[in-house]
Chains A and B, each alone.
Chain A
């Protein structure tokens, strides 16, 4: 079958999916949806369907993540009158009403409706339900990488094709490899795996490298804790990534691709496997793809739980069946990579952007973003923020817009303190830079980095020394131990930070932290050790007074470090609601209803649960 026929068939399937003929239930069943209970909701719909055969024409389908994870489980219902409404926080208990009202009567229930979905028919939709694109979380976004996530059935290749998928590779093969590389250069795309290296340039190196066998790798290790962009794309639109890998292979002259995906992402792996099978069936993999004489195949490799395996040289060692230890460069992977052959490696998001770029052209992509940071970037919003989730915005948008408008501000109306960007190798951007445009250059200017796109919002109740200690604990644990500056440096920094949070630090320690940090940056073999001190160094710069409070006054101003705090209840503010006593894990809180409560300091393990639970701010920490 030629590509035009494949597209036509796909369009017919897509139109059937989109048309109002069959009422539909689409459940966001990516990992985040499932964690919030999506599978129980699906079960409830299936039971309702089985119990009432007149509902049988309804199709229940799993879709990926729309990015509004805070409102999961999300269910879109397309009723008999064609109106499409997205419901939030759906529970099995809500299912009978949704079935009766919306599915049977065509009357959307506005109570739990989050929004109306685009392309819906007029139906009887009520005006009080806002449109998807008018939601404050969605309004500022621009979807390129996550263009299909949550809108298509990720297990149906036709959906991807009908929305423009695989026309990128078709166009690429008409242009020829050199023109493809030029187009990617023109787009200005920079690698989204962390370092931000221009993708077109990198492809050029691999193309020029001598060798009859070459490889391309998709890096889906996503080891950064707090980052889940790659997972969401793989689960919601695996073909966007695989098409990007195919294009990369064609451009550099590789006939074999690997996807290295972490084992902690079982659903992403499942979606990838299914997608590769479908590609084979349609002729997007194999000997003579779409009749252009290009041969390509893909193998999936599962990670085995080592953060350092996200580093490219280490990742290749791991694929070869060795310990994932980085090696020094040069030689660069472009010349001697996997099995010693020229290899090009790109991040998941980079590749998903590539397939859009080849579909729409490099000039189109270059029109988005800023001078030196082109295009869009996905971020995972997490931490102390109201609307947690996955967003995609044009480069250059302000931090304030991201956190206030898109993310709905700091959780529970608490004060904004900082946002941690770039994961363990990143830094904290403090409140004074709230209006910073978010792109590679500006983040670097304030001592942080874009990294892969994790954004952890930190409020006034979080301790910055504790945050630094947390990251050093992570990197110390994940250091592969091959080189001394990183192995010893992370241990030493962790020991110093632990001392400070325990009230045993001295002011000299701060100087020592700086010295060790500088040495690690200069002397470590790979990016892990070179960036591991960043969380300590950046917090030291921006939050010196917090460090000094721990050291000089033996106080943790944020009330986090267990050795330096004690909890009590302010009898004036306490209403006696008993919420704190219910959550206390060691029953340290006593008191009767409507009477002020009290904490027994002997029993209290300073976990902070009561402070979180109290709605009246009556729990004091000192």
Chain B
């Protein structure tokens, strides 16, 4: 676990890379989330201070976009495509199967913090449906069974 002080120091290093103009807001939040995996309240405060915006303003922008999270995700992130091509070829079945298997619905993280589950509206791999992404690896041509097998190995 990092202490608040560590957190502040590491955030400051990120902030230093950006000048204080507003159009840096989204890139900054993306950069921070890349490092922390989510937007901690401390991070939002520091960003607001750096860009001379109100915290409200920063939250207002951050909550608009699907990419930003305000809680730490699980150690493994499973994203299942619910785009059109995946939908007509059984993406819903894959999502249901995983959901049943790990006992959470999309948007949640398992109580042990191991896996979080998300539904995503298209990875652009629509030619190989249904598509599922485990951490950063894209898997095409999934079936409920194959997807269950994939997550059995996740520690």
Contacts and interface: CB of A to CB of B under 8 A. Distances in A.
Contacts of A383: 84-85, 88-89
Given A382-B84, A458-B88, A264 B125 contact: no
Contact of B68 (A304, A384, A467, A480): A304
B88 A306 contact: no
A245 B140 CA distance: 32
Interface stretch (A31-39, A56-64, A96-104, A194-202): A31-39
B22 A320 contact: yes
A452 to B, nearest CB: 12
B25 interface: yes
A609 B26 contact: no
A266 interface: yes
B102 interface: no
A72 B82 CA distance: 21
A543 interface: no
B126 A302 contact: no
B19 interface: no
A35 B88 contact: no
Contacts of B60: 323
B128 A388 contact: yes
A228 B125 contact: yes
Contacts of A304: 26, 29-30, 65-68
Main secondary structure of the interface of B (DSSP, over half): mixed
B15 to A, nearest CB: 15
B108 to A, nearest CB: 17
Interface size, B (range): 35 or more
Contact of A583 (B124, B136, B144): B144
Contacts of B89: 383-384
Nearest to B25: A321
B96 A388 contact: no
B100 A585 contact: yes
Interface stretch (A47-55, A206-214, A219-227): A219-227
B24 interface: yes
A462 interface: yes
B151 interface: no
B23 interface: yes
Contacts, number: 158
Contacts of A69: 125, 127-128
A470 B122 CA distance: 13
Interface string A385-402: 000111000000000000
A225 B144 contact: no
Given A34-B138, A607-B96, A264 B127 contact: no
Contact of B127 (A224, A306, A381, A583): A381
A264 B96 CA distance: 22
B36 interface: no
B93 A32 contact: no
Contacts of A458: 88
B139 interface: yes
A231 B67 contact: no
B88 A264 contact: no
Given A72-B128, A305-B67, A264 B120 contact: yes
A306 B65 contact: yes
A305 B65 contact: yes
Interface string A1-45: 000000000000000000000000000000110111000000000
Interface in A564-586: 582-583, 585
Return the 4 tightest CB-CB contacts between A and B, nearest first.
A69-B127, A225-B83, A305-B66, A35-B140
Given A35-B131, A304-B66, A306-B65, 4 more contacts: A69-B128, A321-B24, A607-B144, A609-B90
11 contacts: A32-B128, A35-B131, A225-B82, A302-B27, A304-B67, A305-B66, A382-B127, A382-B129, A467-B88, A583-B144, A585-B96
